[in-house]
Structure 1
């Protein structure tokens, strides 16, 4: 386990990995107040254990111990063949047990959102709370991509292709992003809201995104390809059986995961706390990081 001071005074960053019952390695990073309230953060796609707000003081000042694992096939976590959404809660629980964590909250952004729903369904009273931030909703429904921009409509459609077709395409795209990250960013900015463009203009945020994005495909795109497929097929559990309170954070300016996805979840998960906000965009987690964590660990 490696432990080092972050760029700010106060917070610590600690990296490690655990061996799961099936022998796979699950890598993680802890940041913020390492003696604080545990929140397990489930990254987006592409993402990795390095995804979080770049200013660890915000997390530290809230007394939050932020634990972010690489999902299977991302970063340093071993690939899991044939995995489903409902496999992830067991990984999360084993990670918590290994770290000596009893109860904890879960928070997930974008493609991490469905895993929060799976954890809320499967782990029940082990959780102190849950938050889905700009999280995708099920796609097997009418109007699933309403409000999604052109590029992401294409991406969601490609995700339904057979693995043998999808993985080579994703490999080529990943090479392109690594070779020309400026061009990849320009493509994202083309469809961004003004608020998102302002977020991405922050050099600390841009550097953080570049870091977790590159780490995501350290060992190739297998994890991403598997996940693209499973997120666009039925989730495999009834949202109506979730009893844990779930905070839902969505912004009007998001054309990657528009608000209609959050409203779909709000209508089907029995106990939700809706935060459907004007303006913003898909990267508003950075501007409202403190509010999201505060609501999750302190209520509100």
Structure 2
């Protein structure tokens, strides 16, 4: 929440930031996991830090906006379609819309979940009703907009531009997890990434949606830390 803004940043810039954090902890190599909008950043680390990243997991990620043979908006909730379309057509309007929203979320982070509620699937509603998970989400939402809305705005802008790297360049092991019912990051994005990344393991849970990634995370973290084949999390489908 207190980070300086980096205007014009791309998804690729996440790798530089991650390397700086790893350096500060004295880590030569490390594994990376990213959920939702964090998925592209995790893949950036894998592609651009090949000598340091051992394994990467991307849960309910987005695919590049310029991905070939992908209908990027297919299956996406109307609110996300609106924000990403505005990011491309009128970035100033996007900022004007999100700055007051962020101020409201800073005062009451629960309002973001309430705004999303009408687009949550039954599966997502059940998961975010868990008191522990809900408390964690609210803390994260408040922290993300603690000083301004620009982190949120710049994320949307970065996802709406070329990433600055090609996922096909990743050579380390990658696990992709997605819920078939996801309307915020549609499952087609993970299927595209699974085809694009050499040797990636793509796991699709047919009964899960966006927030179910939290339930998959413990198994994913175990996979990141051990030298064993990827776990089967739900129903495995070909990429």
Task: Please report the TM-score for the alignment, with normalisation by the length of structure 2.
Answer: 0.88
Decide which structure has greater helix share: 2
Residue equivalent to 1:56: none
Structure 1 residues 245, 78: CA separation in 2 closer, same or farther (over 3 Å shift)? same
Q: Does 1:136 align with 2:62?
A: yes
Taking the aligned partners of 1:219 and 1:183, their CA distance within structure 2 comes to 18
Residue equivalent to 1:67: none
Q: Give RMSD over aligned pairs.
A: 1.6
Residue equivalent to 1:176: 104
Q: Does 1:115 align with 2:32?
A: no
Taking the aligned partners of 1:217 and 1:158, their CA distance within structure 2 comes to 20
Residue equivalent to 2:5: 79
Q: C-alpha displacement at 1:125, in angstroms?
A: 2.4
Taking the aligned partners of 1:181 and 1:98, their CA distance within structure 2 comes to 31
Determine helix, strand or coil for the equivalent of 1:132: strand
Residue equivalent to 1:145: 73
Q: Does 1:199 align with 2:124?
A: no
Residue equivalent to 1:271: 199
CA contact (8 A) 1:254 1:280 kept: yes
CA contact (8 A) 2:110 2:138 kept: no
- Which gives a bigger RCO, structure 1 or 2 (Cα 8 Å, sep 6+)? 2
Determine helix, strand or coil for the equivalent of 1:85: coil
CA contact (8 A) 1:252 1:281 kept: yes
2:173 to 231, 245, 248: 245
Q: Cα deviations across residues 241-281 of structure 1 (Å, max 9, x unaligned)?
A: 11111100100121111210000101111120111111111
Q: C-alpha displacement at 1:189, in angstroms?
A: 2.0
CA contact (8 A) 1:125 1:244 kept: no
Aligned residues: 226
Decide which structure has greater strand share: 1
Q: C-alpha displacement at 1:215, in angstroms?
A: 0.7
* Worse-superposed segment, 109-118 or 150-159: 150-159
Task: Please report the TM-score for the alignment, with normalisation by the length of structure 1.
Answer: 0.71
